[in-house]
Structure 1
């Protein structure tokens, strides 16, 4: 489906269309860099159309439309659904940008500062009235970074045989350690061959609940094991859980320690999202350009806009849509793939461990997201497994389970690199439905436990979702196993070095260049105590090269339908409605439904109809609201039932320029495996570190391969 072309002047049309095609996010007005584009962050004021900063839900019922909103360079909250996407309107200029692009919106938060102030008061009253919450830790308020360090140290002291303190390989931009904790029976033996569940929080600094949920699960695991819980004892004997509550340490300390303002303005450091890197693309100071290079990360002329979005910096598909080329954007992708020490530290951790399931916690949208994060990538070959686990977790927290691209394209995300390159199942949780760190009682206590006032009240909450992820990490049907024997104090390793492409890289001016290449070295070690071993690993073949998912048709597609056009023509900007029925199995198997509508026209702006499609459940499923003629709405795997098509006479519809249309159906896309298979290099080294044997091992997901004596010496 074509994205809507804004109804504006020719220059504006060309600019926005180019941005949409490139998937860029830009910042308005100011000095320009050598590329000719604007490189200066516009100071964000405190007033929108009203006298307060607002959060609005922009009507954008398709992925294309939501990508177009992102391309406008506004402050997008990342809260989106099938109706649209939420945006922070700081001032009248933001609102006018939306209008010029042809968007309408509904105000969700009339006064953001007032809401933030209210939440702070709610938090104060809750902490004062409750001595201890139902959380495993008993916390009643958001932690500071020092609280996280204290809790990590406390857990390590209290449960020494079940924990191993963890410091990631890289320090942050400002020289801080990135701390975490490993939980398992015999936790100190990191070369025990167990599969790993990795849970992380605070890639984005202002998303405080993401870190709270992560550390609460550490308390949960350890308390459950110590109390004799059978599930905890079984899973921690067979698997390892690694928890990193705060990935973006620098940004989090600034956000958590900032003086509250709550208006999302340039110097509202509480709302800082990115890390503290100073981009090489930052313009140098001049007579017309302020000095954005000096000052501290917590006090500088660019304010909270300094830094890189860590969740747009991972090498997998880096440089594509849904990330900005502008250094001052909240979604700035970084100067190069994997350029940031924080994202590289996570990448190194995953590369050195058998992370079979990974969850990166974020806020907010009540979502469980899975790869792919870019629509053009195509569905993962493991889509059935990814979806099944995502759906199971979403049933516990009452979130929506879907592929990430179904919201909008997001290049350079954590789970996209992790899944496509290592084969570990990867997810993003968007916790809660209101704000980046709303009232603690709901966003942390309720969402984690599955209690009111969270929408998951009566279910298992995120606590149970994380337990399901731990079970999945230990499930041999969802990863691969290598078994054999090895002498005492010999190390059996599997490793491979692979080179992969990024996305075609969107350039600052909007042109699309060639992909870049990046190299990953993956390795998992097991140290033998003599005798039989079991080494849990991810499949030897990367999902990136395995092919794409699909399904074989179980019946023919449905016959075409001619749409009924109601008698008469609605007035300008008014609508009329028609319905049609979609069948399902066993009679038909519809892989795609295509609604095509056209009308006689002399001038595409003088005669224009817009169309909006609603599904059997009353939810929007697609739209055709551009200047294109015909308008085309394409829906994958349409659910059986009655659909309603709204025809809006946007401009010039009359008896002479009335619409007509049809619905056609296509079968499902069949699977497209490539047949390419990659191997692990299995190596055995003796206690001196000398290599005594090597061989290649090909092992698929759900497969176990027996290698016999892995250390049998290679014949001369």
Structure 2
């Protein structure tokens, strides 16, 4: 362990919680590391480690995410898990005043152990319990072959497609959609998109995406629940968003050392940034001077809030955001797909850390106007897979992520699944079979697992309260178009070295179509007003806040490394409305005390373990009941430098309503795409609007 030199950090929020409403501005910036050359071959003998960086506040975790390190999505009460590939990585943490504890001293050995488990499982098991029966991770070629095989086996239920942009290495991005009469893509059904392998090394995401497709196809006509979904909804699958990176990672000959040239751990796509020094530009994606560090992190490249905190401006970083907002062909593919359909729901599958995440991805954005609905839907899914339900920012800020474009711009409800607890591609039996089916040792054992979570998302996506609906009439010979165009801004762009520049403006055009075959139509669409401009969620206080509680310090002083406990009680409605509880512990002198908050069941729900004085742990929307404060004497605590503490309670932030209402432009066109009539349609989430006969021109003097 590195000597403890932690930078002062603020309070941590670990409980599943709502973000208090904030003004709808773009995020402030934390300075990223200046551009550096990638790790060189001199570090190939470094033993790659999984460490827990001792940062317990969201702000401090965001700082770590901006250092250009290989940051995971795993947060524990002790800090954020990070993969250290070199002595240079250690130096970045040390220079930032951060310390860490080693979680896995030889991560490559763990990966080799998992691959040995995979081989043993494949030899032992002829057919798994998965719908496909697979026993090994899919390759890119196998995935594409399965797509074609499913289309042949279920011709009426499957439509395949290829997204418009080829990748840097010339590969196509394949997808398919599942519903009755699949080839009629203008049927007006609600649309759910399932995505996998945005990050190359996250192999389980491909298998989870494919297995859900198998479930729907095999269950149609046999299982009433699945039959209803397939009849009334269109599910679009893009199992491998990043085929170049996935192919490199999945087919590479593992070196087993996690070095720069161990391509199994590649995360990004294969593009070469304009900032890449000439000496790192040569070779192919699977054999080049930059190794696995070539490329852009596609989940930091979407234009929504691009360029802000939680992404790197350094080309060699694992979280490199790309040369511009939406610059990558794979990112543009997904934007074009989502913009051309009414995608009312989306799941972007990732690994790892057992999370279901929802927007916002940046804390200062403010809670989405759909926060209560969003949170409840997330909870429904986590009740099935045993994951933690939280907003993305509660992990750390991540600018340029998929849902921070798709939700704020289109209004479709999008989630990120972080699958499995401990690795990017753990043993197949655990990360795929157990996690998907809800079998031990998965957190969803006995609850249904990710299979059940996906089904719940699909069922919610059919429910009119989660989207908007337009009904009306139009001749069967006509076609209807729904469109709008607008510009938005990225975050203020953090430049290399930490200078914050102006936001960049980017444009979106959303255009979808409906074929009113029967004359009467029902069209599931997204709200006409973008969440980005609609406002932010909040509420008025329903009662006063609980008075401040002074914490009782037990007699005596624990030795260094030991702790003592005290309790307090939070009272709730109707007496008090406590939106936040701040547990503050301070002391005189130069000691260092750490604070951990336990609920009545002994679960850690908050902590503060920095060099700050006072330490402040925050609980958001805390449940009434008794809590225990564990105060640890980390360093130097004695009778003269003993702690005192209190619990302060804060009111909720009010709701922000901008009053802005945007409209869809609904057009009736003929077979030659000549516009015959148009009208503006304003529709909110959960609302149904009857537009009458769309193709009938309003009479003179009519208000329509």
- Same fold per superposition (TM over 0.5): yes
Mapped partners of 1:492, 1:324: distance in 2:
42
Which of 512, 531, 535 pairs up with 2:523?
Answer: 535
> In the alignment, is residue 342 of structure 1 matched against residue 349 of structure 2?
no
More displaced stretch, 533-542 vs 82-91: 82-91
More displaced stretch, 501-510 vs 696-705: 501-510
1:406-417 alignment, distance < 5 Å: 406-417=394-405
Partner residue of 1:436?
424
DSSP 3-state at the match of 1:705? strand
Task: Give 1:431 deviation, angstroms.
Answer: 0.7
More displaced stretch, 237-246 vs 88-97: 88-97
Per-residue CA deviation, residues 45-96 of structure 1 (Å, 9 max, x unaligned), is 3556xxx322123333321232233234332222224442212233455445
DSSP 3-state at the match of 1:294? coil
Partner residue of 2:156?
161
Partner residue of 1:251?
245
> In the alignment, is residue 145 of structure 1 matched against residue 140 of structure 2?
yes
8 Å contact 1:424–1:538 — kept in the other structure? Answer: yes
DSSP 3-state at the match of 1:68? helix
8 Å contact 1:61–1:620 — kept in the other structure? Answer: no
Partner residue of 2:196?
201
Which of 324, 332, 337 pairs up with 2:320?
Answer: 332
Partner residue of 1:235?
229
Q: 1:498 to 1:325 in 2, by over 3 A?
A: same
Q: TM-score, normalised by structure 1?
A: 0.90
Which of 496, 507, 510 pairs up with 1:519?
Answer: 507
Partner residue of 1:221?
216
Mapped partners of 2:116, 2:214: distance in 1:
27
Which of 264, 268, 272 pairs up with 2:266?
Answer: 272
1:166-565 alignment, distance < 5 Å: 166-225=161-220, 227-284=221-278, 291-565=279-553
Mapped partners of 1:414, 1:182: distance in 2:
20
DSSP 3-state at the match of 2:390? strand
Partner residue of 1:612?
595
Mapped partners of 1:650, 1:434: distance in 2:
27
Mapped partners of 2:120, 2:93: distance in 1:
38
Q: 1:84 to 1:655 in 2, by over 3 A?
A: closer
Task: Give 1:438 deviation, angstroms.
Answer: 1.4
Q: 1:262 to 1:675 in 2, by over 3 A?
A: farther
More displaced stretch, 110-119 vs 372-381: 110-119
DSSP 3-state at the match of 2:280? coil
Which of 21, 39, 42 pairs up with 2:39?
Answer: 42
Mapped partners of 1:165, 1:24: distance in 2:
44
More displaced stretch, 141-150 vs 653-662: 653-662
Per-residue CA deviation, residues 225-265 of structure 1 (Å, 9 max, x unaligned), is 1x432222222221100001000010011111100123321
Q: TM-score, normalised by structure 2?
A: 0.91
Mapped partners of 1:61, 1:380: distance in 2:
24
1:46-57 alignment, distance < 5 Å: 46=44, 52-57=47-52
Task: Give 1:554 deviation, angstroms.
Answer: 2.9
Task: Give 1:649 deviation, angstroms.
Answer: 5.1
Mapped partners of 1:278, 1:663: distance in 2:
52
Q: 1:92 to 1:691 in 2, by over 3 A?
A: closer
8 Å contact 1:112–1:262 — kept in the other structure? Answer: no
DSSP 3-state at the match of 1:693? strand
DSSP 3-state at the match of 1:539? coil
Partner residue of 2:647?
663
8 Å contact 1:166–1:181 — kept in the other structure? Answer: yes
Partner residue of 1:711?
695
Mapped partners of 1:573, 1:108: distance in 2:
19
More displaced stretch, 547-556 vs 683-692: 547-556
Which of 561, 573, 580 pairs up with 2:568?
Answer: 580
More displaced stretch, 706-715 vs 298-307: 706-715
Mapped partners of 1:529, 1:99: distance in 2:
65
Q: 1:576 to 1:314 in 2, by over 3 A?
A: same
Partner residue of 2:617?
633
Task: Give 1:267 deviation, angstroms.
Answer: 0.3
Per-residue CA deviation, residues 367-420 of structure 1 (Å, 9 max, x unaligned), is 111111111111111011111111111111111111111111111111111111
8 Å contact 1:39–1:283 — kept in the other structure? Answer: no
Q: 1:328 to 1:97 in 2, by over 3 A?
A: closer
Mapped partners of 2:259, 2:82: distance in 1:
13
DSSP 3-state at the match of 1:579? strand
Q: 1:630 to 1:444 in 2, by over 3 A?
A: closer
Partner residue of 1:30?
none
Structure with more contact order per residue of length (Cα contacts < 8 Å, sep ≥ 6): 2
Per-residue CA deviation, residues 323-355 of structure 1 (Å, 9 max, x unaligned), is 101000000001111000101100110011011
8 Å contact 1:24–1:324 — kept in the other structure? Answer: no
Mapped partners of 1:561, 1:150: distance in 2:
63
Partner residue of 1:698?
682
Mapped partners of 2:520, 2:346: distance in 1:
28
8 Å contact 1:164–1:181 — kept in the other structure? Answer: yes
Q: 1:65 to 1:473 in 2, by over 3 A?
A: same
8 Å contact 2:553–2:566 — kept in the other structure? Answer: yes
Mapped partners of 1:610, 1:513: distance in 2:
39
8 Å contact 1:492–1:526 — kept in the other structure? Answer: yes
8 Å contact 1:498–1:519 — kept in the other structure? Answer: yes
**CA RMSD for the aligned pairs?**
2.3
8 Å contact 2:598–2:629 — kept in the other structure? Answer: no
8 Å contact 1:264–1:271 — kept in the other structure? Answer: yes
Q: 1:133 to 1:555 in 2, by over 3 A?
A: same
Mapped partners of 1:82, 1:591: distance in 2:
22
Mapped partners of 2:249, 2:636: distance in 1:
51
Mapped partners of 1:7, 1:421: distance in 2:
37
8 Å contact 1:368–1:427 — kept in the other structure? Answer: yes
Which of 88, 106, 115 pairs up with 2:110?
Answer: 115
Partner residue of 1:13?
none
Task: Give 1:456 deviation, angstroms.
Answer: 1.8
Task: Give 1:527 deviation, angstroms.
Answer: 1.4
Q: Which runs of 5+ in 1 are unaligned?
A: 9-19, 27-36, 285-290, 602-606
Q: 1:627 to 1:59 in 2, by over 3 A?
A: closer
Aligned length: 677
